[in-house]
Amino acid sequence: MATFHERHPGITEALLSRSRNRAQDNPYEWAARRLTHVETILDVGCGSAPMAPHLANWVGLDLSEPELDLAGASGRVPLVCGHSDALPMADGSVSAVLAVMSLMVVDDPARTLLEAARVLRSDGVMVIVLPAQRPAKISDVVRFGSLLAVLGRLMLPFPHPEVAQNLRELLDGAGFELVEDVRDRFEYPISEEADADLLIDSLYLPGVSHRRMRVALALVRRWVGRSVGLPLRRVVARKVGASRVGE
């Protein structure tokens, strides 16, 4: 996965920043809605830092230098090169931790949540955005079903697909209580072939043959003029023992 981000810095932002829900928010705007009036925000796995323009008092952390270089080149600072297993922050030093499209790809999601709890203040809030399977329209199910079939996969192979199933237990184990668990569908328009190419490039597909990738690309290019839905899940949790903030 690290190599994927070295080769494709900014790819998640490129895809998601073009996707909108019914309120016309992209996923980053949707995530930022849960983080108003927060003093200090640590964005773990910030990538090219798409959250930075939406938040005050933001600090981005990632282990990928190409992602951080891209973020820095857009003036999205401050940035820290670091690993989520050992966050380089003091105990109780931040008000909110954000993990947008990153908790299912870090090496150790449980350890990442423990580290998030450690660096959070006692009234700290954790906001997580993850890929989901619903809500979806029938056309999404048909399109993604045919795409997965040509790729020879039953589902997209994130390094830690179990995070989606076990998130509540993982949060509980790290000392968080759940505040919100919602989902929304973001529509990604495929107006031209470049949009189809971006969708395929954004998929993490280790081990899929070049032949299957070519067939998949040809399939998605046939969707020009249409759109596909990207279902996402937003989870907000509070460090246990905290007062009721962030709701």
Ligand X SMILES: C[S@@+](CC[C@H](N)C(=O)[O-])C[C@H]1O[C@@H](n2cnc3c(N)ncnc32)[C@H](O)[C@@H]1O
Using CA atoms of 106, 112, 113, 114 in order, give the dihedral in degrees to the nearest 10: 160
**Residue 115 makes contact with ligand X by CB under 6 A:** no
The smaller minimum CB distance to ligand X, of residues 101 and 119, is found at 101
Positions 44 through 63 that interact with ligand X (CB under 6 A): 45-48, 50, 62-63
64 contributes a contact to ligand X by CB under 6 A: yes
Of the residues 21, 40, 102, 227, which one makes contact with ligand X according to CB under 6 A: 102
For the chain, first and last CA: distance in Å? 33
109 and 115 Cβ atoms separated by less than 8 Å = no
The tokens of 199 are what?
């969708």
The answer to whether 163 contacts ligand X (rule: CB under 6 A) is no
Q: Interface mask (CB under 6 A) for ligand X, residues 16-45, using x and -?
A: -----------------------------x
Residue 206, number of CB atoms within 10 A of its CB: 9
**Interface with ligand X includes 168 (CB under 6 A)?**
no
Residue placing its CB nearer to ligand X in the complex, 21 or 48: 48
Q: How far is the CB of 225 from ligand X (least distance, A)?
A: 26
Under 8 Å between Cβ of 26 and 16: yes
Contact between 107 and ligand X (CB under 6 A)?
yes
Residue of 38, 52, 71, 105 interacting with ligand X (CB under 6 A): 105
In the complex, least distance from residue 229 CB atom to ligand X, rounded to whole angstroms: 18
Using CA atoms, how far apart are residues 73 and 179, in angstroms rounded to an integer?
Answer: 35
Least distance to ligand X, CB of residue 205, Å? 14
Nearer CB in complex with ligand X: 19/84:
84
Q: How far is the CB of 152 from ligand X (least distance, A)?
A: 22
Instruction: Note if the bond before 78 is cis, omega within 30 degrees.
Output: yes
Enumerate residues 6+ apart whose C-beta is below 8 A from 124: 92, 94, 95, 96, 97, 117, 238, 239, 242
As a whole number of angstroms, the distance between CA 223 and CA 61 comes to: 36
Cα separation, 205 vs 131, whole angstroms: 15
By CB under 6 A, the count of residues binding ligand X is: 20
Give the interface with ligand X as residue ranges (CB under 6 A).
5, 12-13, 45-48, 50, 62-64, 67, 83-84, 100-102, 105-107
